[in-house]
Amino acid sequence: MADHHRFIDSHGNELSGKEKMEAAWRSYFEMFPDYRIEVTDIFEAENVVALFGSASGAFRGDRKKKGNSWQLPAAWKAILKEGKIEQWQVYADTKIPFDIIEGNR
């Protein structure tokens, strides 16, 4: 990540700065320690990369609890500068993971 990294979620919310993003990812991985993305297609043009595939995870890594895991189609856009990710944008319907988080509060 670039120091001035910018993250944009699927709802248009933005978070700027490498340190803030690292803290946000730590928090997300506490909720979904097995979070992963599977990329099936990559398109690149100059400093922009588009990735398509799916994202998945289970709340607190507990796949045995009914309704605790999810998998959904997703896409990501990365803007690169000097070999680092300057912007990372997510395109996905995140209702299912948000509902799982709410159900576990």
What pLDDT, in 10s, does the model give residues 21-55? 999 999 999 999 999 999 999 999 999 999 999 99
Q: What's the pLDDT band for 68 if we cut at 50, 70, 90?
A: confident
State how far the Cα of 18 lies from the Cα of 15, in Å rounded to an integer: 9
Q: What is the pTM of this model?
A: 0.88
Residue 98 has pLDDT above 90, yes or no: no
How many residues does this entry show for the chain?
Answer: 105
Q: Which domains does the chain have, with CATH numbers?
A: 6-103 (3.10.450.50)
Per DSSP, the residues of 14-72 read EEESHHHHHHHHHHHHHH-TT-EEEEEEEEEETTEEEEEEEEEEEGGG--SSTT-EEEE
Q: What angle do CA 47, 3, 44 make, to 5 degrees?
A: 15
Q: Residues 63-79: what's their mean pLDDT?
A: 93
